[in-house]
Chains A and B, each alone.
Chain A
Amino acid sequence: MFGKLFKKKENNPIQKLSFENYLATVVDIHAELPKSTVTVKEQMDIIFSDTSDFTERKFHLKSGRSVYICYFSALISQPQLEASVIKPLIQNDVNFRDADDLGNILSVTKYEQTVNWKGTVENILDGNIVLHIDQLNPIILFLAEKTGRNPTDPTTEYQVYGAKFGFIEDSRKNIGIMRQFIKDPRLKSRAYDIGVVSKKQAAILYLEQYCQPEVVEHLDSLLNSYNKEHLQSIGQLSKYISKHPNSLFPQATMSERPDLVSFALVQGKVVIFIDGSAFCAITPITFMDLLETSEDHFFLSRWNLLFIRFLRIVSMFIGTILPALYVSLVAFQPELIPTTLTISVAQARVQIPLPATAEAFLMMFALDVLIEASLRLPSFVGQTIGIVGGLVIGTAAVEAGLVSHTMVIVIAFTAVATFTSPSWEFVSTWRIIRYLLVAIAAMLGLYGLVLAVGFLLVHLCKLDSMNKPYMYPLAPFDGKELKAFFFPKR
């Protein structure tokens, strides 16, 4: 019956955009480069036509042989090119018989001969230099010098006690940072070039004997089989490795804090770094992992940790359920509210034109708009937005009779409670669930709310991250682990 209703749309076979197709219109991508510098230059000019930062240099050796060098000027070290390539070539008059002879003249750490057009173009894009002496095989000089920065304070994950040190956008350097945090030969890393074209450098990092080998193998095969042209962000990769990409709950978490990552590594997790992202992905994770930060262990008293984790769990419940609970109590089961409070709520609501549900949606939406607006703006404007929005929503809306006092209290408390969770990803998840719960509470009251929370629990219990149950140690229940979560051993 449902087959006709949900008939799959036929995919239109659109020809895929492809780097290889583009290159193939100019050259034979698998062919070797010609030995004549003139031909090479001509073809390079076509491939990189309309590319202003593509730089070419041509000169003659004393013997009269022409030399052709090409590169992207912003990606290489120009002084090094000058000192260790151009200068030796011009000053020495050697009759090169093959490309290997170049090694005696050039003071470059690494170079290799080109194999085919495809590899050569990829290397140029990667910031390397093609050096071609007429009638010799062109070679690639590895003189890429990419713009980097020094590690700075993490800006998104504030902590009171944690290290004032964050990752940068270079995966190799980030692994170096981690080596400073964990000095252990068992700290293993595997490198990948992800994206058929972009070949973005990525690496997974794990502590052997701490983590499960199957997780590493699984990730390894996943990363090796990534077949899209480009990989832009760590988020894309996290979605790619997630087993349940349609779930609202994140199955990997991100961090820019080396101390948090080292904590995760010791817990047996696998960390993925990619170039161009100051965040790394940590997987597998559980529900409980999203509620803890490495900083919790900084507390000198164990009771502080117990309190703060308990606080986060309670806040998570409040932040998710409170508006829905308010709606269902006010609209469906007012007998469950204490009498004097009922009278107060009724008095607050008596001149509000909107029903409680609409009020809740309005306020929640306004709150999310405020958060989103202040998030994307420079900090000084962001503060202004916060004040203006707070005033408008908090005071003016009540005075204008659009929303009631009690609703403002409920939404304000909800908003504050949600942000006790250390993971932004997790906060966003609960934010969506909050809307869904209010919607179902508006339709079915407390019955619906209980039903929805039940479904949510079923979903959470079914979910897994890299085959690790998401709700562990609650389901499957492990008393010792649960105790350790709230009250870790000394």
Chain B
Amino acid sequence: MKTNLSKLLLLFIVISLFAGCGTSSREIDQRTMILAMGIDKDENGDFVVTIQVPVITPQEGGMGLSAGEFEVITDRGNSVWDAIANIEAVTPTVLFFGHLKTVLIGETLAKEGLDEILDLLDRRAPLANQIYLVIIREKTEVDEFLDQESRLVILPALYLDRFFKADQKLSRSAEVKLFEFRRDINMKSRASTIPFAYIRENNIVLEDMAVFKEGKLVGELLGKEAGKGHLLKEKIVENMNYTSQVELEKEEVTVSSRVTCRLDYHVNKTNPVEIEMEMPCKAEIVHMSKQDMAKKKDHIEAFSSKLGEEIKQDTEKAINSMKEINVEPWLIGNRIWVRDPKYYESLNWEESGWRDSKININIDVEIEQTGQRGMLDKKKIGE
């Protein structure tokens, strides 16, 4: 009995000592939940930090948020941390970063470089590295963006979260999480992308990608180029939207389609490098200005070759625009380095290797569905 008790006492002491490993208790309602944080720089060079917090008020007859129940708080400081500390001084409870979804960075600041901010975001333990990064275009102020009430989703932070989680099939933008960005700028070409966002006619718009080299915003991929960028990096892009003009039986026909492309490439070890890209695509016709055109095989073939051409052009455009600024944000160089580091060194990738590389794209578009459900002009029985 005596030994049992002493064992228990010892156990209790050990548990109590280990309790230091656990965080201290603080109820949900004693925390100011930050859902989004915006960081920018003003004309004086001070950091401007804006946070978006939901206003917690009891709800009559049920729970859940109602519109407009969020508050945006902005403050300035010599450093980001100073600005955050200033915000903390005007909130009643402790700032809680556990639910931070998105960090919005002003374009001005992004051009100056993100290193300082990334360091802070990375060092603070409560900030999950799963947070999304978004660059706010210059035409929209960061605090204005955070204050923008969407008519569709109650909190702008949740709007962004849902936009990315729902995997919006527009292929004009792609989510980038903090850890992904950190990982990519640590790769051989030290470049990565972050989606752009801005406000257009009171709506939140997410499109285009900002291109970063060594932590600084150096270029951008616009519209369809952003989708091609995703294809080049992830080797797949789904649901790109294309509307093309095709000449079928001497008539101009407008065809709209959704395309999913995959990518596989082979590197010929020459200097400069030659890359053979195989790009099998599958398309689905969603609209045709002339209804009876997709019935014949040669119609479909004509359309698919036209579509292939357009996709190829867009891809080449994206590659060329990046070659112009000599930035390669799609990990192509890294993939070459992984397979053959010596060969990679001989390419001098960062200086001239990428710019001089020769890329051949072989595209093959297959029309999977014509979308036509019935023969509308078929002969009726008895006619």
Contacts and interface: CB of A to CB of B under 8 A. Distances in A.
Interface of A: 1-3, 5-6, 8, 330-335, 339-340, 342-351, 355-356, 405, 442-448, 451
Contacts, number: 99
Interface string B20-62: 0111111111010101000000000000000000101111000
B205 interface: no
A445 B23 CA distance: 8
Nearest to A330: B28
Contact of B22 (A342, A343, A344, A444): A444
A332 B23 contact: yes
Interface of B: 1-2, 5-6, 9, 15, 18-19, 21-29, 31, 33, 35, 54, 56-59, 63-65, 96, 98-99, 101, 126, 128, 158, 161
Given A345-B28, A347-B63, A339 B15 contact: no
B6 A346 contact: no
A346 B26 CA distance: 12
12 contacts: A6-B2, A8-B1, A332-B26, A335-B128, A339-B33, A342-B28, A343-B33, A347-B56, A349-B27, A349-B28, A356-B27, A448-B19
Contacts of B22: 332, 444-448
B9 A2 contact: yes
Contacts of B126: 335
Given A2-B6, A330-B28, A335-B126, A444 B19 contact: yes
Contacts of B31: 334
B27 A355 contact: yes
A64 B352 CA distance: 139
Contacts of A405: 63
B66 to A, nearest CB: 10
A-B interface, 4 closest residue pairs, ranked by CB to CB distance from nearest: A335-B98, A2-B6, A447-B22, A344-B63
Given A349-B27, A350-B29, A344 B98 contact: no
Contacts of A355: 25, 27
Name, among B18, B28, B33, the residue most crowded by chain A CB atoms within 10 Å (CB to CB). B28
Given A335-B99, A405-B63, A444-B15, A346 B35 contact: no
B91 to A, nearest CB: 14
A293 to B, nearest CB: 36
Given A2-B9, A332-B25, A339-B35, A350 B56 contact: yes
Contacts of A333: 23, 98
A350 B15 CA distance: 32
A232 B18 CA distance: 46
Nearest to B6: A2
A334 B64 contact: no
B98 A331 contact: no
B27 A331 contact: yes
A333 B65 CA distance: 22
B58 A443 contact: no
A339 B25 contact: no
Contacts of B58: 347-348, 350-351
B179 to A, nearest CB: 16
Nearest to B98: A335
Contacts of B26: 331-332
Contacts of B54: 343, 346
Given A6-B2, A331-B25, A355-B27, 8 more contacts: A8-B1, A332-B24, A333-B23, A334-B98, A339-B33, A347-B63, A348-B63, A445-B22
A448 B21 CA distance: 10
Contacts of A451: 15, 18
A5 B99 CA distance: 48
B56 A2 contact: no
Nearest to B62: A405
A408 to B, nearest CB: 12
B161 to A, nearest CB: 7
Nearest to A442: B25
B92 to A, nearest CB: 12
A331 B22 CA distance: 12
A343 B27 contact: no
Contacts of A335: 96, 98-99, 126, 128
Name, among A1, A2, A339, A344, the residue most crowded by chain B CB atoms within 10 Å (CB to CB). A339
B56 A443 contact: no
Contacts of B21: 447
Given A335-B126, A350-B57, A451-B15, A342 B25 contact: no
A445 B27 contact: no
Given A346-B28, A347-B57, A443 B19 contact: yes
Given A332-B25, A334-B96, A346 B2 contact: no
A350 to B, nearest CB: 5
A340 B155 CA distance: 11
A356 B30 CA distance: 12
Nearest to B65: A343
A339 B159 CA distance: 13
A6 B1 contact: yes
Contacts of B99: 334-335, 339, 342
A201 B23 CA distance: 58
A2 B28 contact: no
Nearest to B21: A447
A442 B22 CA distance: 11
Contacts of B19: 443-444, 447-448
Contacts of B56: 343, 346-347, 350
Contacts of A331: 25-28
A330 B65 contact: no
A56 B243 CA distance: 115
Given A2-B6, A6-B1, A346 B25 contact: no
Contacts of A347: 56-59, 63-65
Nearest to A341: B63
Nearest to B63: A344
B6 A6 contact: yes
A346 to B, nearest CB: 5
A394 B158 CA distance: 32
A334 B23 CA distance: 11
